[in-house]
Chain A
Amino acid sequence: MTTTTTGWGVELRGVTQRYGDVVALDDVTLTVRPGTITGLLGRNGSGKSTLGSLLAAFRRPTAGRVLVDGEDPWENERVVPGICFVRESGDVLEDYPLKDNLAYVSGARPTFSHELAGELMDLFELDPRRKPSKLSRGKKSAFGIVLGLAARAPLTILDEVHLGLDAPSRYAFYETLLADYAEHPRTLILSSHLIGEIEQLLEDVVVLDRGRVLVAQDAETLRAEGLAVTGPAPAVEQFVAGRDVLATQRLGGTVRTTVRGALVEGDERRARDAGLELGPVPLQDLFVHLTDPQRTGSTVGPADGEVAR
């Protein structure tokens, strides 16, 4: 028997998840393209972890349908071995050595790579004889990454797995993830607060805000939509009039306004003539502006975008 791992697509149709009075996900309809690395971004409590839990059949939605590779994953014997959801809290046998944990997980996952697991254990300097309950936060995160990547699951969801990892370890994680993803394509859903670090890894981006989908599109288009306009206040105001203004910062007579929306023909020339500088907006900034609680919706007038920083 041979295993070829290709990515699985994900579809949510009108999915709502309530915990008592709290609405964690509110009528979410979303598609994740198979074989992509999709960033799942959102502030704390925006519903990211709940979304992961539903995809991994950790729980059942209050309403709506969740489809992984075209099927409801709940108690689905074909689908669940191919879904791997790793969350920061860790779902491991706390009082058994890491090697026992690896043996248990590998026995349950048909696509598990012992070779990759071994490489990652070495990379993160994890001692297979240690127990998870005795590990530091960073080492625990690292072990979650080992399980998540070595599983080579057609749908892999990594939720804040970088917490507690130092920068060199995180970079090693990104590099290994990319190398293994290139060799063994799969669908990866990556959630992280370090947007600047993972930005270039992403092909698609989903932004959740208070249980709703705020943005779902490819990263390149999203980045192209963010525009920082810098220059003298009157010229900037004239240029951004009628655009979706996300934020404005003032420094003396100079204003820097962040807008969302692709440039149209002639915009660059107009900006140059008006002495304005057009710059890119890092995804991180775009995210911060989009999920600013003072924003009431996606269509706000220029006056609402004021941000004091």
Chain B
Amino acid sequence: MDNNDVVAARRRALQEAIHSGETVMVSPTGQVQLPGESDDPTRPGISVPQGKLA
């Protein structure tokens, strides 16, 4: 798998996690991440509260 495929696969995983209501995190730079993806385990980011877009 080349880098583009890795990026695309990660985005699909993220999209599916969000769509199925699983917890996602947002890092201090604003990057939306899957739980455990953070480079810095001491700063895992904020867990996005449940909520449907208006």
- Bound together: no
